[in-house]
Amino acid sequence: MKNLNKSIIKCKKCPRLVQFRNKISKEKRKQYMNEDYWGKPVTGFGDINGKMLFVGLAPAAHGATRTGRVFTGDKSSDFLYKCLFKAKISNQDTSNNLNDGLKLNNAFITLALKCVPPGDKPNVEELNNCSNFFNHEINNLKNLGIIIALGKIAFDTCFYFYKKNFNLNKRLIFGHGKIYNLPNNIKLVGCYHPSPRNVNTGRINQKKMVSLFKKIKKLN
């Protein structure tokens, strides 16, 4: 995984995204003006021997693009880690920066796209470019059994990835808590994204999320 991560961090394959991540890191958000933004692609994080793989869509502009670690330093990660901690998948209920001591238990977390896209909307070419890294990550996770897709776009990305690489010929529909069987004995689980919008509208709450995470832990 170390060599893979080195290649990810150096990648400049998508001109639009390289330009955007540089722009964000230079302009910065007011409250982080004194910080040096990471400003590069964001790699996966966690236990490479883990059974569970959490997949988000892309780094947040002022979260992972600033801190350099997936789901770190923004409101989505605040909510996600409260839930992961309650389900005993993480050793703490916060994810603030690279040196905060965070560890995942039997789980790895990554992004379908390693660079932040404008408006959180990647194009097909960018997703295709980055799918090679996602492929390598999956191959490096030798004990992988369950993929938890955080949000519909991450779910569809995982689905298209398997469709392309394994000739999957059925349509999988995203739904919170829906579980599908994928090739190689892997299960794909749909889960609402832990975004402030989903939390504030009540679509997702800690109880619902923790209950799904606890259920996932028991899957074989």
Apex CA 121: angle with CA 22 and CA 124, to 5°?
Answer: 100
Amino acid at 103: K
Q: How many residues line the site for ligand SF4 (CB under 6 A)?
A: 15
Using CB under 6 A, which of 5, 17, 60, 64 touches ligand SF4? 17
Q: Is 112 among the residues that bind ligand SF4 (CB under 6 A)?
A: no
Side-chain half-sphere of 37: how many Cα atoms within 13 Å? 27
Distance between CA 24 and CA 139 in Å, rounded? 32
Q: What residues between 130 and 149 interact with ligand SF4 by CB under 6 A?
A: 130, 133
| Alpha carbon of residue 36 to chain centroid | 22
Q: Is 8 among the residues that bind ligand SF4 (CB under 6 A)?
A: yes
Distance between CA 23 and CA 206 in Å, rounded? 34
- The region of 99-107, 125-133, 164-172, 186-194 touching ligand SF4 under the rule CB under 6 A is 125-133
Q: Is 176 among the residues that bind ligand SF4 (CB under 6 A)?
A: no
Side-chain half-sphere of 10: how many Cα atoms within 13 Å? 6
Give me the least distance between CB of 13 and ligand SF4, in Å please.
Answer: 4
Q: Which residue, 27 or 125, is less far from ligand SF4 as judged by CB?
A: 125
Distance between CA 5 and CA 62 in Å, rounded? 21
Give me the least distance between CB of 17 and ligand SF4, in Å please.
Answer: 5
Q: Is 67 among the residues that bind ligand SF4 (CB under 6 A)?
A: no
Which residues are at the interface with ligand SF4 (CB under 6 A)? Answer: 8, 11-14, 17-18, 41, 113-115, 126, 129-130, 133
